[in-house]
């Protein structure tokens, strides 16, 4: 057991007066300064500026004009706002569970001590690095396009394909597949979590005659719930903010017929195409509040299903 008591002051030194900076404090502030200045200048100030702009009519070229809650009221009658919200919620609800399930399944396979584990782990992690890049979005066009790999494969078994990215019924599905394919990041975290589960628990359950399924349900899942929760929070927030894939694949339009109009893409269109920065700021704040509420709900519900072992 480590000694966690506060170490005694060196002989001959006095306790610093409250509120008075010591040399160490000064040095700490110097080292913190770049980050602190970055936080204030690059994150906090623009955030508060956007909060102000959310209540203005601002087209970048002219000074902002205060319009009160008009931008927020406008959302209620904006069909494209609701389309974007629906597309994004669908994307989150479908892709996050699928991605986590894939990640967990692969992590369990890799946890069996395969030869060349490091190679497999790197290979599966690679799409996570590339998944939101322009290059992969372009690749996706080649795979799901009219003359793409999917249709060529279907053609081999006599099925006539279609342009999966240009059909509003399937375009979002291809982006969900793309997101699921980037399961490497949660997989690596799951793998680390699986390594933390004591082997004795599995041995004891085997002695008691527990099946693999029972072991999975009664040992693996409960002990992995903090990791599942962690991944769930990260992936949910990340999916709400998905942008690049839809932007590249739809050339920034969110088409066909707004079927890939992610919420962030709509914000982008309002801000950088329509020059409607006030409305875009209001949209961005609504997204932030929604994500905050969903995260808070996740944390509240987590008390019922996340097992920390304490």
3 vs 79 by CB, closer to other proteins: 79
Asked if residue 111 binds other proteins (CB under 8 A), the reply is no
Q: Using the rule CB under 8 A, which residue among 26, 46, 155, 198 binds other proteins? A: 26
Nearer to other proteins (CB atom), residue 13 or residue 62: 62
Any contact of residue 81 with other proteins (CB under 8 A)? no
Q: d(Cα 117, Cα 127) in Å, to the nearest integer?
A: 17
| Cβ proximity to other proteins, 52 vs 305, nearer residue | 52
Q: Which two tokens stand for residue 252?
A: 């920034």
**Given the complex with other proteins, which of 60 and 153 has the nearer CB atom?**
60
Binding letters toward other proteins, positions 55-74, x by CB under 8 A? --x-xxxx------------
Among residue numbers 167 through 196, which ones bind other proteins (CB under 8 A)? 167-168
Tell me the site size for other proteins, rule CB under 8 A: 37
100 Cβ partners below 8 Å, 6+ apart?
183, 186, 228, 231, 232, 235
Pick the binder of other proteins from 103, 229, 231, 258 (CB under 8 A). 258
Cβ–Cβ < 8 Å for 186, 103:
yes
Stretch that binds other proteins, among 7-15, 238-246, 265-273, 299-307 (CB under 8 A): 265-273
Q: Does 34 bind other proteins (CB under 8 A)?
A: yes
Q: Is 177 exposed, middle or buried (0-12, 13-18, 19+ CB in 10 A)?
A: middle
Choosing from 72, 238, 275, 295, the residue that interacts with other proteins (CB under 8 A) is 275
Q: Is 276 exposed, middle or buried (0-12, 13-18, 19+ CB in 10 A)?
A: buried
Question: Per-residue x/- mask for other proteins, residues 126 to 165, rule CB under 8 A?
Answer: -------------------xxx--------------xx--
- Specify the long-range contacts of residues 251-256, CB closer than 8 Å, at least 24 apart: 254/84, 254/87, 255/168, 255/171, 256/166, 256/167, 256/168, 256/171
Query: Residue 57 or residue 111: which is nearer to other proteins going by CB?
Result: 57
Identify which of residues 229 and 266 has a Cβ nearer to other proteins in the complex.
266
Q: Which of 5, 15, 17, 23 binds other proteins (CB under 8 A)?
A: 23
Would you tell me how many other CB atoms lie within 10 Å of the CB of residue 285? Answer: 18
- Residue 272 touches other proteins, criterion: CB under 8 A: yes
| Interacting residue ranges for other proteins, rule: CB under 8 A | 23, 26-27, 30, 33-34, 37, 41-42, 57, 59-62, 145-147, 162-163, 166-168, 251-253, 255-258, 269, 271-277
């Amino acid at each position: 057991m480590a000694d966690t008591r506060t170490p005694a002051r060196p002989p001959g030194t006095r306790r610093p007066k409250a509120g008075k900076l010591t040399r160490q404090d000064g040095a700490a502030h110097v080292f913190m300064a770049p980050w602190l200045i970055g936080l204030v200048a690059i994150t906090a100030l623009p955030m508060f500026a956007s909060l102000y702009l959310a209540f203005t009519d601002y087209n970048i070229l002219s000074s902002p004009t205060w319009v009160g809650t008009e931008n927020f009221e406008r959302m209620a009658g904006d069909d494209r706002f609701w389309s974007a919200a629906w597309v994004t919620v669908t994307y989150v609800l479908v892709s996050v569970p699928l991605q986590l399930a894939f990640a967990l399944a692969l992590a369990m396979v890799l946890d069996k001590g395969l030869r060349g584990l490091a190679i497999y782990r790197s290979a599966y992690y690679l799409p996570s690095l590339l998944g939101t890049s322009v290059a992969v979005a372009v690749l996706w066009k080649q795979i799901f396009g009219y003359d793409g790999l999917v249709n060529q494969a279907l053609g081999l078994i006599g099925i006539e394909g279609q342009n999966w990215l240009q059909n509003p019924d399937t375009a979002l599905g291809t982006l969900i597949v793309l997101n699921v394919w980037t399961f490497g990041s949660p997989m690596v975290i799951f793998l680390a979590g699986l390594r933390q589960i004591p082997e004795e628990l599995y041995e004891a359950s085997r002695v008691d005659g527990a099946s693999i399924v029972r072991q999975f349900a009664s040992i693996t899942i409960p002990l992995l719930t903090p990791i599942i929760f962690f991944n769930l929070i990260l992936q949910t927030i990340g999916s709400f903010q998905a942008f690049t894939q839809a932007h590249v694949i739809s050339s920034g339009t969110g088409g066909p017929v707004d079927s890939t109009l992610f919420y962030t893409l709509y914000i982008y269109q309002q801000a950088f195409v329509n020059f409607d920065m006030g409305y875009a700021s209001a949209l961005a704040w609504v997204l932030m509040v929604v994500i905050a509420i969903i995260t808070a709900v996740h944390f509240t519900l987590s008390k019922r299903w996340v097992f920390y072992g304490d």
